[in-house]
Amino acid sequence: MRSISTKISGLLLVFVALGGCQDDQQRQGPSVANSAEASTMQTATSKDRTKIAYEKVGSGPPVILVNGALSGRQAGSKIAGLLAPHFTVYTYDRRGRGDSGDTQPYAVEREIEDIAALIDDAGSAVGLVGFSSGAALALEAASALGPKVGKLVVYEAPYDDSEDVGAKWKAYKAGPSRGWSPPRRPGRRRSSTILHYCWARRDCGPSADLKGFPALGPDEGMGNWAAY
């Protein structure tokens, strides 16, 4: 578990990168609690007509939180609440997760188009804040969308330059048919979730300890995002 000071440092990084707090008048806008209560699910329509579910809270320059592989939009609710007095914060379900659609076939470009649809709703250039695989996606989106992304914050993007990572990545992509196979469990989504977990832990052996892994509970249905 990361220390409180590390979490606070991360939040301060977000504030600095996004341009800091707004003027005193904006600071005295809706409270965090009231902003959270006002949030309701909406949908944006991506270029391929996929519906992308999102919520927005707060007031100020728009910021989109891009969560990691096993996260729905609720995962960003706490940081959204903290930023809401200073920004309009969008949290959304990446395609294949939560209340968003899952149009096939998958391509990274489709997820970038999803972010573009949210930017269209915002009506101006946005700040992107990406976590884990969402950080990698945010980098790709910023590169592709140019001036539509005014600020960019990334945290723990899953890039690795260790010597053996190439071989492990090939085994992961090969999946159960050629690489390591996760323990037998009912349901392909659950197996996909376990496989991703073992890859992230760098422990893809048959003795991998899966106890306490939260995604094997209510979030195991997110396993259909494996290609993402």
Reported as a single tens digit per residue, the pLDDT across 60-81 is: 999 999 998 778 898 888 899 9
pLDDT band, very low/low/confident/very high, at 219 (cuts 50, 70, 90): very low
What pLDDT is stored for residue 186 in this prediction? 44
Predicted confidence (pLDDT) per residue in 22-58, tens digit: 444 344 444 444 444 457 899 999 999 999 999 999 9
Cβ 156 vs Cβ 132: under 8 Å:
yes
Tell me: domain 4-155, CATH 1.20.1600.10, correct? Answer: no
In tens, the pLDDT along 93-137 reads 999 888 999 898 888 999 999 999 999 999 999 999 999 889 999
CA dist 227 and 223 (Å) reads 9
Report pTM. 0.73
- pLDDT score for 4: 44
Q: Where are the domains of the chain?
A: 4-155, 165-225
